[in-house]
Amino acid sequence: MRLLALVILILLAAAPWLPGIVDRLVNRTGAPAVPARATAQALHDSLWIADFHNDVLLWPRDLAVYGTYGHVDIPRLDAGGVDLAVFSVPTRHYLLSNYRRTPAVGDVMTLRAMASRWPRAAWLDPLPRARFMANRLDAAARASHGALLVIETREDLAALLERQARGEGVMGALLSLEGVHAAGREIASVDSLFAAGFRVFGITHLFDNDAGGSAHGWRKGGLTPFGRRVVARIDSLGGIIDLAHASRATIDDVLALTSRVVVSHTGLTSHCPGARNLDDERAVRIASRGGVLAIGFWKAAVCGDDVRDVARAIHHALTVAGDDHVALGSDFDGAVRAPFDAAHLAVLTDALLAEGLTRAQVRAVMGENAKRFLLSALPSRTR
Ligand SMILES: [Zn+2]
């Protein structure tokens, strides 16, 4: 019976309509938000806005169409005033994934790849999966007729900023990898991922991999010797290390090797305890090295599912890490319930003002901190 149930499960999961249904079920949005007050909307409209983490490339959606479910697409990012979005690519997801202790067995992304008829090479291997999702972003950028521009260097970002300052309706997109297990055990694969446009590299996702321990992994160790080589290689290429999901030991090991780090979607345990969040000591250390903490919008990050909970978490992070080191890391479309979608980001500006942040702090958190960080952390074209 158990075998029959497993076969039925696999058949169901591999059905072409299933990823769309899962997408609708897991990427939920709270009740329609009360519109931002006029003064907050006016401030919001004047901001440069960046978000460090969405997972929309995983889902079978047309990025050019204003969606009726989920959180992110180009029209909704545009409606929310987003100027730069980081598109993250997870490449493995295990059956028993959880925040406490995830065993690295039973990769359900194989079913996902089969169901959506991804290229055969991507059914089992995470590297072609990463390339496939990177290609989806490139295709979306090409189809956008200039509305979406993939950023690879600080010069690209500077050029984007100039065009935006001239009033051109163009949004930047940055590619990020959720776990270097996509590289397998090959350093050369790190180079090929960089060549494919990836610029932000998470060490781990929800499980320990060959490079290092995850905060949600089985053993939660630090960087392995291979992991040290991976970090050194990413650093020499000019990539940015993302410490979201990394174990404490991995964070410590990475910080001993490089300061070019971001935590792309997180909360702080001193505000919201839990395995998904960062302790103050490491948050302060990352900030003191010039890194950025991007605060997520979902319950496990901010201990609530209201926009005011997100604002409180951001306010708290400012008191811990300082005004220059806090940013947005929504985790939109990351199989989370968010209080609002990308189109309604102005409600967060409103909630931050209501929380007592100054207009300068709101400006910094909503995008200026991310901008300053990326202008110095992204590789230069001439390197
Ligand atoms: Zn994540």
pLDDT digits (tens, 9 = 90+) for 293-307: 999 999 999 999 999
Burial of 229 (0-12, 13-18, 19+ CB in 10 A): middle
Nearest partner of 94 among 3, 198, 201, 179, judged by Cα: 179
- Percent of the chain whose predicted confidence (pLDDT) is above 70: 96
Residues 6+ apart with CB under 8 A from 339: 29, 30, 33, 297, 305, 306, 307, 309, 310, 347
The predicted pLDDT at position 12 comes to 62
Mean per-residue pLDDT over the chain, rounded: 95
Give distance in angstroms: CA of 257 to centre of ligand 1: 23
Give distance in angstroms: CA of 297 to centre of ligand 1: 12
Give distance in angstroms: CA of 189 to centre of ligand 1: 22
Give distance in angstroms: CA of 383 to centre of ligand 1: 30
Is the model's pLDDT at 165 over the cut of 80? yes
Q: Which two tokens stand for residue 148?
A: 């979406």
Give distance in angstroms: CA of 296 to centre of ligand 1: 10
Give distance in angstroms: CA of 68 to centre of ligand 1: 23
Residue 51's DSSP bridge partners are 85
Average pLDDT over residues 217-234: 97
Give distance in angstroms: CA of 332 to centre of ligand 1: 10
Average pLDDT over residues 303-329: 97
Give distance in angstroms: CA of 187 to centre of ligand 1: 23
Is the model's pLDDT at 3 over the cut of 90? no
Give distance in angstroms: CA of 276 to centre of ligand 1: 9
Residues 6+ apart with CB under 8 A from 307: 33, 339, 340, 347, 348, 350, 351
Is the model's pLDDT at 78 over the cut of 90? yes
Tokens 């909630």 locate to 351
In this structure, which amino acid lies at residue 233?
A: R
Is the pLDDT higher at 30 or at 269?
Answer: 269
Per-residue pLDDT tens over the stretch 274-299: 999 999 999 999 999 999 999 999 99
Give distance in angstroms: CA of 331 to centre of ligand 1: 7
- Three-state DSSP at 90 gives strand
Give distance in angstroms: CA of 206 to centre of ligand 1: 8
